Amino acid sequence: MYPIFVFWYIQSISFLSQAHVASALNMDGRKSLVVSGDYYDIPDEFEGFDEEADCMKAIAQENEDRNRYTDILPYDATRVKLLAGDGSDYINANHVSFKDGDVELHYIASQGPLDETVADFWQMVWEQKVSLICMMTGLVERGRIKCHKYWPDEGQTQSFGLLSIKAIAETDEDGFMIRTFVVTNGNDERQVTQCHFGSWPDHGVPAEAGAFLRFVAEVEAVKGLTSPTVLHCSAGIGRTGVLALTQIALALMQKGRVADISDIITKLRQHRMLMVQTESQYEFVATTLRDAEKRGSLAPAISNIDISTWRSTSLTETVEDKSNSETKETKEPKERVDTFTVVEPEVTQSEADRSDTDTEPDHNHQYSELANTHSELANTHSEPVDGHADVAGKKKDYEQSLKHVTKKPKIN
């Protein structure tokens, strides 16, 4: 399936480049649509963030075991709420939406499920009517568990709470896997696709963008038109943020609009903290977008280009990221009483996921007094998933008030 959409993607970039874009090598002097600044000028969270006030549900004692990392928590204003189950509505996941004119994308950014939260994860998928899950991590990396295997092997069926998951197909696409599941709840069943990008290196970022761009094309081919896409890596912020950022930037560029990478990340972090976790991830996205832009403008026979040769030549970072994150130990799952029914869920829009790199950011920053504005965003997220309330107007004054008020220390 993906070659067709890769061709479509390349043709779109080709038209965009010829009609609207001039890369650094163009002769007409027009500027690139890709704009990037200093990664370390981007605030980690929304301005005025206070963990005790803004992540109250996440830090509650009864939910401690549901967080993979103790310092990567969902904002109360945008967290996904489970509608029924064992008495708790908590899952470490946020609604994330981006809207700019007719460019509109909706995500759920989640941590990788723990053993004891797999049933919660599938419950969220069912209740939010999700048809696509994008997984951006291996199950184990550098000897550390990054995500619990939450799906059965091909041809097998496994139950989680009241939901039954049957794996009906699995395809290796040379760099990523495509799995198809049938999810059953009583007499109702739905098909869910998982796109699993498992070729992200243990250290740093991919040396070339070919496999990642093919993955993005596949995601575009199968994503739902109205339902949110679930994105997750391990913590649900780093590689998850990379995928969301790339999709948003390409969508803007294909409409002839500037993709301001720093601005997009700033908006994403209003919904989930630390989206796009490291500078190397930021540079990977910027270089990938510029490479795509240049190739589109320079090659008349663009459809003959093998995008697997598009290398991010400006990226040389191979230094191992160091982590200070405290990882939750896997525990035996608790006995659940799952008696949930399908109700039209409320949307609390939010931002995506913690990077699967093991870099722990510094949280000791000072922010201005805008917490009340962010809290008011929670009141705007009341539309059902199929509607996705347009909160852009209500957020306009808030977004204009955002300032880059801090510089983060660079990661060694």
Closest CA to 312 of 300, 334, 294: 294
How would you write the chain as a 3-class SS string?
CHHHHHHHHHHHHHHHHHHCCCCCCCCCCCCCCEECCCHHHCCCCCCCCCHHHHCHHHHCHHHHHHCCECCCCCCCCCEEECCCCCCCCEEEEEEEEEEECCEEEEEEEECCCCHHHHHHHHHHHHHCCCCEEEECCCCEECCEECCCCCCCCCCCEEEECCEEEEEEEEEECCCEEEEEEEEEECCEEEEEEEEEECCCCCCCCCCECHHHHHHHHHHHHHCCCCCCEEEECCCCCHHHHHHHHHHHHHHHHHCCCCEEHHHHHHHHCCCCCCCCCCHHHHHHHHHHHHHHHHHHHHCCCHHHCCHHHCECCCCCCCCCCCCCCCECCCCCCCCCCCCCCCCCCECCCCCCCCCCCCCCCCCCCCCCCCHHHHHHHHHHCCCECCCCCCCHHHHHHHHHHCCCCCCCCCCC
- Strands in 157-160's sheet, in edge-to-edge order, are 79-81, 90-100, 103-110, 229-232, 132-135, 188-197, 176-185, 163-172, 157-160
Distance CA 214, CA 212 (A): 5
- Active-site option among 134, 147, 195, 233: 233
Q: Based on the residue annotation, tell me whether 147 is a catalytic residue of this protein.
A: no
320-340: b or e for each residue (b if 16 or more CB lie within 10 Å)?
A: ebeeebeebeeeeeeebebeb
Give catalytic residues, as residue numbers: 233
